[in-house]
Every structure is written in structure tokens, then in C-alpha cells.
Chains A and B, each alone.
Chain A
Amino acid sequence: MASVLTVNALNTRFSTPEGAVSAVNDVTFSVDARESVGVVGESGSGKSQVFMSALGLLAKNGQAHGSVQYAGDEMLGMPETQLNRIRGVHIGMIFQDPMTSLNPYLRVVRQMTEVLVEHKGSTEQDARAKSLQALESVGIPDPAKRLDQYPYELSGGMRQRVMIAMALLCEPQLLIADEPTTALDVTVQAQILELLADLKRHHDMAIVLITHDLGVVAGLCDRVLVMYAGRIVEQGTVRDVFYDPRHPYTLGLLESMPRVDAAGDEALATIQGQPPNLQRLPRGCAFSERCPLAWERCDEAPPPLRELASGRYSACYRDAPR
């Protein structure tokens, strides 16, 4: 299958007054056309920064090295004008907080039509008609009225629907959803997930879902990447990773998930300790301090991401043949 996004040896650093922060460390993966990939990790695991690096959306103090290709074109270091022909056209992105991700000073219609005017050269009229359609297709009630409202007049769920409609205007090959439900009420979360599942069925595009919630991934994704301290620690199909986790961190995540089928009196497991300081990552495995299975070798060098079976990766010495 052709891949839409190929990330190779990506490293992202932020320079801060307190020293350099390694947010993404040696990350390699690819996203195939029409597949949906979940990227799972705690906040600070670098899961969002991977895609910010790809789209040139890093904060000013951030610097990405390595390679990110869209359909064979290298995106890192690509001139802004060229990059703009990919962002918003071939790759759509929606963000965690729909409250702040829409411009509060512009009407919804303005924020939507400008995409079509910029990329497709549409007239303002055509763009308006298409925006109306797009709002309809994401299930916004009374879309004609919403079009002329300001974001603050919409509810959180509606704003996220606007964001999604906006990202889909140019029919992208890839939709990146960065924690699309985290900032929403639980009932609204379910509706948005439903909408994303619906999009996945009816659109010809790949979806990357960035989340800290394994449950979300299970319902929506084909494949999953687990990230910890800026590294991919496990990768595989959702089925494999959920039923046969190979990395102790993934195992910990799964065990700390509340399960409907668990016996009522079972205490929920948690992972002990704190994620490491990204400014001073340990020499060895970043998880070793919290890992119940750690041994001396873990503190020598970070375990490489090893292919266990086709498409199945884990970065743990416990899995490696001695």
C-alpha cells in the first residue's frame, strides 16, 4: 500500500532558558493511504510534536531534524509557499481545544471560505455554498445560521464540528486529529468520535488520531503507535497491541484502563512514578525507572525499536533475544 506520510529518524528539540528539551527522539513510522492510526501517550510524550514538526507548526524555539515525507515530498525545510500547498489541502488538522482554535474575531463563514479561496481560487459565493455543505455534512444543526455566527456563539461540540468541516473542505488525503475530544463533555465526546468513525467509512482518507485515551483508539483505529518520552515504544495493529502488549509501558497503560468486564472489587492499577525530565533523559531506557521488569541492561542504552513480526514493533530488552 502507498504511504501518505513517512516519518524517518525524526528528532525535535526545544531550546529553553533552562536548556534543550528533547520532545521527539528518533521517531520512524509511516501512515498508509486510507488507514487510521492511533498515536497514544501521556502529555509530554511528544505525540503531538511529531505532527507539529511535520507541518511546520512548532513553536519558535523548536527545531526538527530528520525526514518527514508527504507522498514522497520532503516536508522538513520545505519553503513556506510549497508547504502551504500541502497543509490545508492534502493534510487537514484539527486540534484539542475548539474553544481557542477558532479565531474569536472572525465569523465562521470567513474562516471557512478563506481556505477555498486560498487553495482552490473559488469565488466568495461558491466558497460559501461549499462551506454550508461542509457544515451540513458534519451534522451541525441549522448550518446556514451558524455560518454567520462568531465562534463564541457556538457550543464546544459545534465548534469542533466546524473545525472538522474546515479541515475537510479541500478533501485531504490525511486528517490529523490532535486530541479532538479531550476538551469536550463526555456526551459530546461520543458524538465527535461517532462523526470521526463516520468520516473514516465514507471518505477516502487516512486518519491519525492523537490521544492519551486507549479506549478512543480501540473504537476507531486500525493501527496504534505508543509513545513514551519522545520515542515510539510499541507499534502494531490495535488487536495485537491490545491483546498482546509487548512493552511494559503499554501493559501498564492497558492495566490502568477501567474495564467494564472486570470484577467490581478489583483495584485499578496505576503506573508508579513520573515521566522523566525531557531535559535530562537517562542514558538508557526512559521508562526503566518506573518499569517493574527493569534490569541493569536497561540503564546502558535506550533499547532499539525492534521488529518482532511484520509491522509489529517493540522497544524493550525483555523482548530481545539475549
Chain B
Amino acid sequence: MLAYALRRLLVAVPTLFIIVTIAFFMIRIAPGGPFDRERAIPPEIEKNILAAYDLDLPLWQQYLKYVGGVLQGDFGPSYKYRDFTVLDLIASGLPASLQLGGIAIVLAVLFGITAGTFAALSQNSRYDYLIMAGAMTGIAIPNFVMAPLLTLVFGVYLSLLPVAGWGDGALANKILPVIALALPQIAYIARLTRGSMIETLSQNYVRTARAKGLRERIVIVRHALRGALLPVVSYLGPATAQIITGSVVIETIFDFPGIGRHFVQGALNRDYTVVMGVMIFYATLIILFNLLVDLAYALLDPKVKYEQR
């Protein structure tokens, strides 16, 4: 198990390295620098600015310096907000983003699995169709459409919840963003669970469990659920990526002081260091989470350990 974990980690490190490298060189070959828009800067000042951001060094030195910095968690200063480093921005956005994403993924797993299992157990019934229609809606309506609609109904027409803002972390301010972020994932996990549950229920070993005269609850929970949840577990990696991606737009819509908003602002301002830093941060998060998911999978499916020697 430990060897397995180590090997997965060994794959993760070069992946991250590749991301950093590609991102770095893509930005440096980009047409036009980040300060092009500021017109008529005296040459001395421009020189100072370039020096401050190491842009006067040869490319390979810039690269080495950047990679060295990244290894120490230093993504450099923001081009736009000169008093802040990228790390400052990430740190300031982390609490809001972490809460938003964390709650959303927990909700997605809980509700998705429950709804999917229920639909599978009552396959082709009215409830099944209802849940699956709901899931299709959740998948087809993107969160940037769902979020304004939710706000329109619950914030504007019903005035039940705040329309936007952080509200110093008040719970009421988080409800709509979390729902808008979690809905597509709930829908996807529900569909996934239903499909794999139906397939598992038709497996021979479930028939064996029934033939042994076990109670239906034991047949489902002990015998069927574990196999049925494996695809869901391996989807948790992509789900995290989806939640992080979604959080970018949700934070923008609800004016949430998270990392995603810094990213969008950075992208709109061509604030390269911020865009790159946040991207690397997100990639690290996603890769780490994928690693955890792989380990969880290996724990659930004894065959993995076996086949990996």
C-alpha cells in the first residue's frame, strides 16, 4: 500500500513540473507584455519595473528563478496589485473558497449517492424517472445559468436569501452559492451511482447474496453498495476539478472573496503571475486530490493492491 502511494506520488511530481514549465513558457512567448497598456512610461521607470519583475534577465534565468520560487511557495508579485504577492492573494481568498468548495463536494457526494441509489432501487418507477429528469436538468443547465436563476427566485422575488456578497461569512450568504456549485455534481453523481448500482445489482455475487437468504438491506449495503460506489470514488478526482472550475464563476457571480475571483480579475487584467500562480495552485490541489482518490480506491477494491503487486 505504501509503495503504491509512493509510486502515485512519483507520477504526480513530474506532472506538476510539466504544468509549471508549459505555463511559464506560454506566457513568455505571448505577444505583448503585461505593461503594454500603460502608455508613455519613461524608459528608466520601465527599466525599473522590468528589473523588479526580473523581466530583464535571460529567459532561462527567469525560468529557473520562477521554478525555484514555486518550490518555496513563492509565485512572485502580482503585476497589477504591486503591493501584493500572488501568495498573499491566494491566502486571502483561501478561507472563502475552501468553505464554498468543501461544503459543495460533501453535499454532492451525500445527495448524489443517496438519490442515485434510490433511483436504482426503484428502477423504472415514477421516482426513478423524477430523479433522473432532475439529474438531467442539473447536468444540462450550467451553473452560471443556475446561479442567476436561483438568485432571481430566492434572492429577488422571495427575498429569502442575500443576493450576493460574503456577509462576513454568514451562513445565509453561502447557501445559494453552495447549491449552485453543488447541483451539477449532485446530478452527475446521482446518474453515475444509479447506473453502476443497476449494473452491480445484476452481478452474480448479488444474486448469491440473495440466494443465501440475506436481508435486502444487507444485500444492498454490504454486497451491492461497495462495488457500485467504486466508479463514484474514481469520479471524485474529476469532481474536485469541476468544483474548483465552477467556484471561479460562482465566486464571480456572488461576489465572493475567494481565489476564483482573483483568478478572473487576473485574467481580465492580464495579470500573468496571478493567473499562473492560481493555476499552479489549483493544479496542485487537483493532483493531490486525485492521489487521495486513488488511495481510497485501492483501499476499497482489494484487487488494485494485488494487481499493482
Contacts and interface: CB of A to CB of B under 8 A. Distances in A.
The yes or no verdict on A and B being binding partners is yes
Interface of A: 55-57, 59-60, 80-81, 83-89, 92-93, 95, 97, 100-106, 114-115, 118-119, 150, 152-153, 163, 166
B130 interface: no
Interface stretch (B140-148, B208-216, B280-288): B208-216
Contact of B212 (A80, A88, A105, A106): A88
Nearest to A93: B211
Nearest to A163: B208
Instruction: Please list the 5 inter-chain residue pairs (A to B) with the smallest Cβ-Cβ separation, ordered nearest first.
Output: A88-B213, A87-B213, A88-B212, A84-B213, A100-B204
A86 B210 CA distance: 11
A103 B202 contact: no
A114 B306 contact: no
Nearest to A107: B302
Nearest to B207: A57
A55 B123 contact: no
A105 B228 CA distance: 11
B232 to A, nearest CB: 14
A86 B306 CA distance: 37
Contacts of A118: 212-215, 218
A104 B214 contact: no
Interface in B107-142: 123
A86 B84 CA distance: 73
Interface residues of B, number: 25
Nearest to B210: A57
B202 A59 contact: yes
A118 B215 CA distance: 8
A55 B204 CA distance: 15
Contact of A102 (B208, B213, B226): B208
A114 B123 contact: no
A87 B212 contact: yes
B205 A100 contact: yes
A88 B211 contact: yes
Contacts of A93: 211
A92 B204 CA distance: 15
A210 to B, nearest CB: 13
A156 to B, nearest CB: 14
B34 interface: no
B208 A103 contact: yes
B227 A85 contact: no
Best-buried of B210, B215, B227 by chain A (most CB within 10 Å): B210
A60 B205 CA distance: 16
Nearest to A103: B205
Contact of B208 (A83, A95, A105, A152): A95
A94 to B, nearest CB: 9
A57 B204 CA distance: 11
Contacts of B123: 60
A83 B211 CA distance: 10
Contacts of A105: 226-227, 300-302
6 contacts: A55-B211, A84-B214, A100-B204, A104-B301, A114-B212, A118-B213
Given A95-B204, A100-B204, A153-B306, A84 B215 contact: yes
A182 to B, nearest CB: 13
A88 B212 CA distance: 4
Contacts of B208: 95, 101-103, 163
Contact of A100 (B203, B215, B218): B203
B303 interface: yes
Contact of B211 (A57, A59, A60): A57
A85 B208 CA distance: 15
A115 B213 CA distance: 8
Contacts of B227: 103-105
A95 B226 contact: no
Nearest to B198: A60
Contacts of A103: 205, 208-209, 223, 227
Contacts of A88: 211-214
A97 B306 contact: no
B222 interface: yes
A80 B216 contact: yes
Nearest to B216: A80
Nearest to B124: A60
Interface string B280-309: 000000000000000000001111001000
A105 B298 CA distance: 11
